[in-house]
Amino acid sequence: MPERGRARGAGGRVTVRVTLRGRVQGVGFRAWTVSLALGLGLDGWVRNRADGSVEAVFSGAGEAVSRALERMDVGPPGARVTGCEVRDERATPPSGFVQQPSL
């Protein structure tokens, strides 16, 4: 996996925004992402976008964010990720990880 940027926030937290392209809608990607993030102790959210992509924000310990990004490159069964863009995110999300309405 290529090296990805990491935003450092309060307390050494890492916060990134991820956009995934490919066969990422209609395959349970959002529910899978919520389960993944909660299992890793991450805060943030995930949502579908009108252009067919999935967007997520992950915030937490650097190692946990890195593990989430590695898994996002593959996704749940039935998904086919063809593009994964990761950007630093300035805003730290509230505690917990939620599925947001589609945009």
Q: Known catalytic residue: 48? A: yes
CB-based contact 101:41 (threshold 8 Å): no
* CA 4 from centre of chain: 13
Q: Tell me which of 17, 48, 49, 87 is the catalytic residue.
A: 48
Q: Tell me which of 4, 13, 30, 47 is the catalytic residue.
A: 30
Helix (H, G, I), strand (E, B) or coil at 27: coil
Q: Give the separation between CA 10 and CA 5, rounded to whole angstroms.
A: 17
Q: Which residues are catalytic?
A: 30, 48
